[in-house]
Chain A
Amino acid sequence: MEEVRDLRMDERQGAGGVLDELMRKIPGFAGYLDRENRRDADQRHREFIAKRLTQKKRDIQDVGEILLGSGDMSQMSALDSLTNKCDRLIERTRHASAGFSSFMDSNAVDVQRLDTIYEHDLALLTTVESLDALVSRAESAADTKDNVGQALREVKKGLDEIDAHLDQRDKILKGLE
């Protein structure tokens, strides 16, 4: 995870180039740039997670395709509910608050808070990756027609965990955690 974080930060700082270096000479501007870099790095990371979630959604639809191929419509509503949930999580991740605070906001988001958010989003990737095993199990269940409903319920639990993780992110930004 450390490597991922450093990679994103390096990407962001490298993108600034000479202009960034010049602007850092302006008093007070370096801190602003640091925060901007963190937000940009976090946004890139969230975009990466959104793409991973999109892949998971396709995997879930693959389960539906297996069932549909054998004419089994019984789990279609459950599968649709899962893919809708994926859509929601993808958009929530992609368009999550970047961590800006207005001048009048008493709850200023400083560099430390942004770092906490960034760490939180890095951990989110682990939760998303843990879906792999659950979706694979659902695929196997669809192949063998063995307890598909239960396997899909497990996938739903995995998605609920991601949802809860994003809720917690909002709380961190608002200074509630």
Chain B
Amino acid sequence: MFGRLKQAVSNATNSVKDGISNATEGVLEVIEWNDYHPEMLVKRVPESGPADIKWGAQLIVREAQCAVFFRDGKALDVFGPGRHTLETGNLPLLTNVIKHVTGGHNVFSAEVYFVNQSVLTEMKWGTPNPIDMKDPDLGWVQLRAFGTFSVKIEDPQLFVNTLVGAQKMYTHQTLNNFLKGSVRTKLNDLVGTTFESYAKIRSNLDEMAAAMKIKVRDDFGKYGIELRDFFIQDVSVPEEIQEAFRLRAKMGALGMQGPAAYQQFQAANAMRDMAQNEGAGGGMMSAGAGLGMGMMFPQMMQQHMAGAYPPPGYGPPPGGYPPPGYPPQGGYPPQGYPPQQGYPPQQGYPQQGPPQGYPQQGQAPPQGQAPPADPNQAKIAKLQELVDMGVLSQEEFQAKVAQITGG
């Protein structure tokens, strides 16, 4: 009797224990997202399927997070930062559902999506295909641009419903890939409708970024996302056009303007390159190119500086130059030049062997050939030439001769 009673009590006790165990096994009493990672946008609790949540369980939501409660695929409530006790008082929308579904039991099934509400930075955008633009100076150009932007999930319920639930978008990277398509489209539109030249874009990058924030507002907003920052790191044209810009700057620095300037600039560069290229053309080509450039540059400078040269205050040389009597009467070359027999002499040139009077090896210099008889005579002859050229007057000549001869 006593043994049977003991057995019955034991069975009843085990039965109660099992019941408790079944009720508490897998039942959530504290729900939180504490293994936060900046790459993660959303954490679902549990990771799959619905969770059994104890009535009166604690939901802990941290700053920069919020929790969206789901049941049967529908978002029922959103909880902000703080500790929330899941009960009738603070889950009014759930109350009726829970009563209906659980029949008054203290466990209900639901899913919780924790949403990262911090500002998501370092999202990248770019233009894999160039944007065509008609520039008044450059014609059709292909622009490329890239930069970064940052967003914040402003409406978590909308975000979870539109992107997370439907597209399983849980990470920073997947969201970035999704949003940058919209950025590209709006940038294309903005460039085409608002900016008329590449130069204007370059000088209005701030304004362009601000305008982009307004442009994509609705595109992002429909998913509960807000664009916080938009940075344009660069807007560029192809390399050959950039090279043309640099060339134009160079020509501008040299004072060259107008349609012919480019040809002249290129010609001058080509000659300079040939002159510097000692290997290919040989010395003569180098010399010729150098000479050509030397002759061309003054002309070019003269053309480009026409009207501006000489600068004010820099006039012609003062009167008195050239001195009277210059050039010498009779023209140039002076009479008697070239010599009557022609130059070089037809016969006997070049001379075979050493010139006459040049000492042979081992011999002494020839006598009576070397210095002129009187050095003063040579000086006087030079002075006479200067008189003939009109550099010296007759009086100056006489004075110099007297000085030389000591007279």
Contact = CB atoms under 8 A, between A and B. Distances in A.
- Asked if A and B bind, the verdict is yes
A68 interface: yes
A86 to B, nearest CB: 11
29 contacts: A16-B89, A19-B85, A40-B82, A47-B80, A61-B214, A61-B217, A64-B211, A64-B214, A65-B217, A68-B194, A68-B211, A68-B215, A71-B193, A71-B194, A73-B194, A73-B204, A73-B207, A73-B211, A74-B207, A76-B207, A76-B208, A77-B206, A77-B210, A79-B210, A80-B206, A80-B209, A80-B213, A87-B228, A95-B63
B244 to A, nearest CB: 26
Interface in A40-59: 40, 43, 47, 54
B194 A64 contact: no
A79 to B, nearest CB: 6
B213 A83 contact: yes
A87 B226 CA distance: 11
A17 interface: yes
A50 B88 CA distance: 27
A64 B217 CA distance: 11
Contact of A80 (B194, B210, B215, B217): B210
Interface in B107-166: 154
Q: Place the interface of chain B in its size category.
A: 20 to 34
Given A14-B89, A68-B194, 9 more contacts: A17-B87, A47-B80, A68-B211, A68-B215, A74-B207, A77-B207, A80-B210, A83-B213, A95-B63
A23 interface: no
Interface string A72-102: 0110110110010001000000010000000
B210 A76 contact: yes
Contacts of A83: 213
A64 B85 CA distance: 43
B90 interface: yes
Tell me whether chain B's interface is mostly helix, strand or loop, or mixed: helix
A71 B207 CA distance: 12
B224 to A, nearest CB: 12
Q: Give 6 nearest A-B pairs by CB, closest first.
A: A80-B210, A76-B210, A76-B207, A64-B214, A73-B207, A17-B89
Contacts of B89: 14-17
Contact of B211 (A14, A43, A76): A76
Contacts of B204: 73
Contacts of A79: 210, 214
Interface of B: 63, 80, 82, 85, 87-90, 154, 193-194, 204, 206-211, 213-215, 217, 228
Interface of A: 14-17, 19, 40, 43, 47, 54, 61, 64-65, 68, 71, 73-74, 76-77, 79-80, 83, 87, 95
A38 to B, nearest CB: 14
A76 B90 contact: no
Contacts of A61: 213-214, 217
A168 to B, nearest CB: 23
Contacts of B208: 73, 76
A14 to B, nearest CB: 7
Given A54-B154, A73-B207, A77-B207, A68 B214 contact: yes
B63 A65 contact: no
Contacts of A64: 210-211, 214
B228 to A, nearest CB: 6
Nearest to A14: B89
A112 B204 CA distance: 52
Contacts of B210: 64, 76-77, 79-80
Nearest to A60: B214
Contacts of A76: 206-208, 210-211
B85 to A, nearest CB: 7
Contacts of B193: 71
Contacts of B88: 17
